[in-house]
Chains A and B, each alone.
Chain A
């Protein structure tokens, strides 16, 4: 069709000069004359003159009493045209209303059109229209009713809705479907403007949903979509109906009229899919109703047309939103792949968008398409680039944050669009601005580069502030304030007062938070130099001094004071020494006098939050368990599924990054990598190894080493999730961790000799990446009398995999599990470990476990014993945990961490059996000493913001209470004592994967005042709990 249009258009000039040869154009029409007149003009100025002349003549005619309604209609059309060209014709508004009131049906239509184009919802003239609309709604002429409904759905303001609502409502039962449909849509519009006004007609909406006309039914879905979005739980009962409707539509049960390019009612399908995704979100039973029809939709939408892609896209979105089903997810993932790999740019864009949407649930998918993503990053279309950055932003973790921020900045430098800049700037979540600021302040090795980077930041931020700071996000404004405060002096010729004047408006912005205002004021304080600045400070103090916000007043006061005393300012806020650690009395000892005075005056001593909570819990109910689970912290562990950002996935990635290197340390015993496909090495992506990336991508990869480098730096941290066939324990949904192996031959000799055989360390671990091999447990009373077989399976943290150690034979009749200890793998027996605790015993299976602490990991050793007379088959052990990552890495610290599992097996003559068990680990199992120097300690201390303070019991028996107490903590909790100076001591430890926790202790009035700080918010509180326990147990 567009060809035809093109053809017609090439004839445009001739058409205009040769008087209307296509019958459609009229030379005599006044509108035609006007249009032609404008087309002939060359300059904007001429056009303006012509239109003004035209408007004057229209104005004359509309106000003349002799103008007929028909002429009026023609005048209105011309007035609309002038307005469309950007010239105001407000004199005609009232006449448009008159035309709608008085004209015949045809005139009315133009009148209503003019009204809806001229008037805004807030225009008072609309009041004059109410009566006309009411009259037309009651008209017997269908067309008039339609017009009235259309205008009602177009511009009616909130306060005029009640006037027409009863009549519109009445139309829901009109015999004509077109009227019913328009009435439903008008009500939809009302719902959007004023939901409470249509509350009472919900039952009528249900009737509309069941309307025999599909048009009316699909119109009602718009309302349902909004209502379900508002309150999904209120409409769960309709899920079945929506599914049935969708089934019918997909199955082609609608009249052929509703087909669009031979796809049945695509708009209806998409609307239903959107509603279903709302209903199925976080609701397993509802989601189960949908699986079938979603599968059907995916299957049917095979034709290669835009419209089927639209349905597919919506389908994929729904599948990823509702309660997951592995089979559907797989199909949806394939679908996304088709989008991403499509040569059509629109589909590629949607593919990226879909990836952005699902990447939090399935980081693997982004990995599969990494090379496409890298290509899109360099795409000539900014929109594609922008979406790619959005995707990268979602997979940001601690390892790739630098590369991604660099990419973002690169984009920002090129981008001309304010809005995108702001959006991306605003996207910087707390960790990104912080690392960005650190990048700026710590910089690179080269002084010159640092200077340039800072200067660039200063310049770009200045221009942003000059433009429209109101549009910038709070976080971004804070970054801007800090950077300007620190570095604006680098820009030569820039007067501090100029910056001050740019920052000052931030205080006036209504949406600025107190935090932002404080940042801005601090920046100003840093810059305040010279008399001009002092007067600005004075102005600000006058204007905002009366603010109700104490923080703000405090900052203002500081600004004013320091502005007046430059020498004091240079001491308080020295320039260019941002990196030198400031001497801070971190224990706030200067307040001790104040505290003791307050205590003496009867004030309650300070209690840290966890202690308060504990006391609160004890007051409320009798705690059955003395410790542990009653703590709110351990209960508040959020499940892995809820975690919105991929940081959780990254915890083990630092380790996976080193996988090659580590694998060379054969025989170390702790690391067994055979069977794992290595994709990520130290240098990045390893092309030579078997990779998880599809082959066709591999082909592209070979040529372009640079892109791989980029890929490896961008996708680092997602790597450990790729490649292995194993699913990872603790990950939100699909498959729990499993490890299976075949037992060793039954002819082996006795247990201990087996243990000492050299294969304990060097033999490849028996993890089957092909999970179908059954594991058989030989009989207890097999060939060897009294010898059962036992195996220990340890989860080795470093590669995120389960490893099953070689068998051992042990005597099960020993009641004390002493033999179990002897069956620990040799390299583990020397390490500190917990008691072996029985997990469960079930019929002929006995499980027990202990955990072993190594320097780099915590290992869980599970002993499996078959106590029956016959060999058990198909032994499977699955473990899940909400508290721990798949490799015994705490997903977030808490006092205790729970691990649950299921063991199943089958005896030859019996049914399959299964039994559940759980195992609790304490935080202390994951705490390791952190060896740092006192200087490093000082630097770390300042970098952390999460802290807790508490007074602890001091062991006072010995001659040196502080040393004794810290020594006890060191022995019990494996912390490192960094230094002890007089009555103060500093202690450092870290969580397994490296998050440090620092403790500052000071002897004060017979107590040990400790102050803990860490990068993790939960860690100080949890550690404090264990310190208390350790001291209490002593």
Chain B
């Protein structure tokens, strides 16, 4: 996988993860162009796109678009399931996730993503162990933290 983007229907970027070296300028340009292309597509259209030399796999969950760029020879359907599994993980972690959870706790979403994908490849296909790893880290934070952590303020920890 080359990169993963999460953006809203209004074209606001919510999360971006790049798995290959890309310059800041290219990143911005690609994000902008890709958002335009994906947002212009109608709901009944195919979830796959050939864009530049990449294959884009995207799926819309409520107002959020999850968008992955993979290589030409990669399996599109399984990429779609990568997205779905990530959403399942977010959902399980936040408890029926919504866009706001991801806006306000985007760093959490990043942690989950890092635990799920590494170097652009699925790290752990077992939902349980991903969440276990995240929870362990969270637990550690709590022991570490004084009671009024920022996260607690936000009602998260």
- By a CB distance below 8 angstroms, the chain B residues around A188 are 119, 121
Q: Name A419's contact: one of B21, B52, B75, B85 (CB within 8 Å).
A: B52
Q: Are B107 and A345 in contact, with the CB atoms below 8 A?
A: no
Q: Return A392 CB to nearest CB of chain B, in Å.
A: 16
Q: Are B46 and A346 in contact, with the CB atoms below 8 A?
A: yes
6 examples of A-B residue contacts, CB within 8 angstroms: A6-B63, A25-B155, A81-B106, A182-B118, A222-B121, A346-B77
Q: A5-B97, A70-B149 are in contact. List 15 more A-B contacts (CB 8 A).
A: A9-B99, A22-B100, A70-B145, A105-B141, A105-B144, A106-B149, A113-B114, A146-B133, A146-B137, A157-B21, A185-B121, A222-B119, A267-B125, A346-B47, A383-B49
Q: Return B133 CB to nearest CB of chain A, in Å.
A: 6
- By a CB distance below 8 angstroms, the chain B residues around A105 are 137, 140-141, 144
Q: Name B126's contact: one of A9, A22, A29, A257 (CB within 8 Å).
A: A257
Q: Are B98 and A113 in contact, with the CB atoms below 8 A?
A: no
- By a CB distance below 8 angstroms, the chain B residues around A86 are 13, 28
Q: Are A15 and B87 in contact, with the CB atoms below 8 A?
A: no
- Beyond A105-B144, A350-B77, whether A260 also contacts B125 by CB under 8 A is yes
Q: Are A215 and B129 in contact, with the CB atoms below 8 A?
A: yes
Q: Return A471 CB to nearest CB of chain B, in Å.
A: 10
A218 at the interface (CB under 8 A from B): yes
- Beyond A188-B121, A349-B46, whether A80 also contacts B100 by CB under 8 A is no
Query: Considering the chains assembled together, what is the distance between the CA atoms of A105 and B111 in angstroms?
Result: 13
Q: Return B85 CB to nearest CB of chain A, in Å.
A: 7
Interface centre among B28, B61, B75, B145 (most CB of A within 10 A): B75
Q: Are B21 and A122 in contact, with the CB atoms below 8 A?
A: yes
Which residue of chain A is the closest to B24 with respect to CB atoms? A120
Q: Return B91 CB to nearest CB of chain A, in Å.
A: 6
Which residues of chain B from 29 to 84 have a CB within 8 Å of any chain A CB? 44-53, 61-64, 75-78, 80-81, 84
Q: Are A9 and B62 in contact, with the CB atoms below 8 A?
A: yes
The stretch from A306-314, A518-526, A684-692 touching chain B is A306-314
- By a CB distance below 8 angstroms, the chain A residues around B99 are 5, 8-9, 12
Q: Are A25 and B154 in contact, with the CB atoms below 8 A?
A: yes
- By a CB distance below 8 angstroms, the chain B residues around A314 are 75, 78
* Closest 8 A/B residue pairs (Cβ): A310-B77, A8-B98, A5-B62, A26-B154, A121-B21, A189-B119, A106-B141, A257-B126
A509 at the interface (CB under 8 A from B): no
Query: Considering the chains assembled together, what is the distance between the CA atoms of A266 and B126 in angstroms?
Result: 11
- By a CB distance below 8 angstroms, the chain B residues around A258 are 125-126
- By a CB distance below 8 angstroms, the chain A residues around B81 are 260, 266, 306-307, 310
Which residue of chain A is the closest to B141 with respect to CB atoms? A106
Query: Considering the chains assembled together, what is the distance between the CA atoms of A213 and B123 in angstroms?
Result: 13
Which residue of chain A is the closest to B28 with respect to CB atoms? A86
Q: Return A42 CB to nearest CB of chain B, in Å.
A: 12
Q: Are A24 and B104 in contact, with the CB atoms below 8 A?
A: yes
Which residues of chain B from 117 to 155 have a CB within 8 Å of any chain A CB? 118-119, 121-129, 133, 136-137, 140-141, 144-145, 149-150, 153-155
- By a CB distance below 8 angstroms, the chain A residues around B12 are 85
- By a CB distance below 8 angstroms, the chain B residues around A186 are 118-119
A1000 at the interface (CB under 8 A from B): no
Interface centre among A15, A24, A80 (most CB of B within 10 A): A24
Which residue of chain A is the closest to B57 with respect to CB atoms? A346
Which residues of chain A from 1 to 52 have a CB within 8 Å of any chain B CB? 1-2, 4-6, 8-9, 12, 15, 22-26, 28-29, 31-32, 35
A153 at the interface (CB under 8 A from B): yes
Which residue of chain B is the closest to A158 with respect to CB atoms? B21
- Beyond A32-B104, A309-B77, whether A419 also contacts B51 by CB under 8 A is yes
- By a CB distance below 8 angstroms, the chain B residues around A732 are none
Q: Are A383 and B119 in contact, with the CB atoms below 8 A?
A: no
Query: Considering the chains assembled together, what is the distance between the CA atoms of A28 and B104 in angstroms?
Result: 12
- By a CB distance below 8 angstroms, the chain A residues around B129 are 178, 215, 257
Q: Are A346 and B125 in contact, with the CB atoms below 8 A?
A: no
- By a CB distance below 8 angstroms, the chain B residues around A109 are 111, 137, 141
Query: Considering the chains assembled together, what is the distance between the CA atoms of A558 and B103 in angstroms?
Result: 65
Q: Are B118 and A4 in contact, with the CB atoms below 8 A?
A: no
Query: Considering the chains assembled together, what is the distance between the CA atoms of A909 and B40 in angstroms?
Result: 77
- By a CB distance below 8 angstroms, the chain B residues around A185 are 118-119, 121, 123
Q: Are B46 and A310 in contact, with the CB atoms below 8 A?
A: no
Query: Considering the chains assembled together, what is the distance between the CA atoms of A380 and B44 in angstroms?
Result: 10
Binary CB contact string for chain A from 489 to 515 against chain B (1 if under 8 A, 0 otherwise) = 000000000000000000000000000
- By a CB distance below 8 angstroms, the chain A residues around B13 are 84-86
Q: Are B140 and A9 in contact, with the CB atoms below 8 A?
A: no
- Beyond A257-B128, A350-B76, A386-B50, whether A80 also contacts B106 by CB under 8 A is yes
What is the interface of chain B mostly: helix, strand, loop, or mixed?
mixed
Q: Return B111 CB to nearest CB of chain A, in Å.
A: 7
A77 at the interface (CB under 8 A from B): yes
Q: Are A150 and B62 in contact, with the CB atoms below 8 A?
A: no
A831 at the interface (CB under 8 A from B): no
Q: Are A420 and B153 in contact, with the CB atoms below 8 A?
A: no
A192 at the interface (CB under 8 A from B): yes
- By a CB distance below 8 angstroms, the chain B residues around A420 are 50
Query: Considering the chains assembled together, what is the distance between the CA atoms of A348 and B76 in angstroms?
Result: 12
Q: Name B100's contact: one of A4, A12, A215 (CB within 8 Å).
A: A12
- By a CB distance below 8 angstroms, the chain B residues around A265 are 125
A73 at the interface (CB under 8 A from B): yes
- Beyond A306-B81, A346-B80, whether A154 also contacts B96 by CB under 8 A is no
- By a CB distance below 8 angstroms, the chain A residues around B84 are 306
Q: Return B131 CB to nearest CB of chain A, in Å.
A: 11
Which residues of chain A from 343 to 391 have a CB within 8 Å of any chain B CB? 345-346, 348-350, 380-381, 383-384, 386-387
Q: Return B115 CB to nearest CB of chain A, in Å.
A: 8
Which residue of chain A is the closest to B117 with respect to CB atoms? A185
- By a CB distance below 8 angstroms, the chain A residues around B80 are 306, 310, 346
Binary CB contact string for chain A from 54 to 95 against chain B (1 if under 8 A, 0 otherwise) = 000000000000000010011001001100111000000000
Query: Considering the chains assembled together, what is the distance between the CA atoms of A700 and B146 in angstroms?
Result: 72
Query: Considering the chains assembled together, what is the distance between the CA atoms of A28 and B75 in angstroms?
Result: 45
Q: Return A255 CB to nearest CB of chain B, in Å.
A: 8
- Beyond A35-B103, A109-B137, whether A346 also contacts B118 by CB under 8 A is no
Query: Considering the chains assembled together, what is the distance between the CA atoms of A25 and B94 in angstroms?
Result: 12
Query: Considering the chains assembled together, what is the distance between the CA atoms of A413 and B51 in angstroms?
Result: 18
Which residue of chain B is the closest to A193 with respect to CB atoms? B21
- By a CB distance below 8 angstroms, the chain B residues around A257 are 126-129
A110 at the interface (CB under 8 A from B): yes
Q: Are B63 and A9 in contact, with the CB atoms below 8 A?
A: yes
Q: Are A215 and B126 in contact, with the CB atoms below 8 A?
A: yes
Query: Considering the chains assembled together, what is the distance between the CA atoms of A381 and B49 in angstroms?
Result: 10
Q: Are B125 and A349 in contact, with the CB atoms below 8 A?
A: no
Q: Return B130 CB to nearest CB of chain A, in Å.
A: 10
- By a CB distance below 8 angstroms, the chain A residues around B23 are 120
- Beyond A5-B97, A70-B149, whether A306 also contacts B123 by CB under 8 A is no
Query: Considering the chains assembled together, what is the distance between the CA atoms of A536 and B51 in angstroms?
Result: 37
- Beyond A24-B104, A306-B77, whether A84 also contacts B16 by CB under 8 A is yes
Query: Considering the chains assembled together, what is the distance between the CA atoms of A309 and B46 in angstroms?
Result: 15
Q: Are A5 and B155 in contact, with the CB atoms below 8 A?
A: no
Q: Are B150 and A24 in contact, with the CB atoms below 8 A?
A: no
A219 at the interface (CB under 8 A from B): yes
Q: Are B119 and A154 in contact, with the CB atoms below 8 A?
A: yes
Q: Return A244 CB to nearest CB of chain B, in Å.
A: 19
- Beyond A154-B119, A192-B119, A309-B77, whether A9 also contacts B91 by CB under 8 A is no
A796 at the interface (CB under 8 A from B): no
Q: Return B88 CB to nearest CB of chain A, in Å.
A: 8
Q: Name A267's contact: one of B78, B91, B137 (CB within 8 Å).
A: B78
Q: Return A154 CB to nearest CB of chain B, in Å.
A: 7
Q: Are B140 and A106 in contact, with the CB atoms below 8 A?
A: yes
Query: Considering the chains assembled together, what is the distance between the CA atoms of A996 and B111 in angstroms?
Result: 68
- By a CB distance below 8 angstroms, the chain A residues around B100 are 8-9, 12, 15, 22, 24-25
Q: Return B136 CB to nearest CB of chain A, in Å.
A: 7
Query: Considering the chains assembled together, what is the distance between the CA atoms of A20 and B90 in angstroms?
Result: 20
Q: Return A45 CB to nearest CB of chain B, in Å.
A: 16
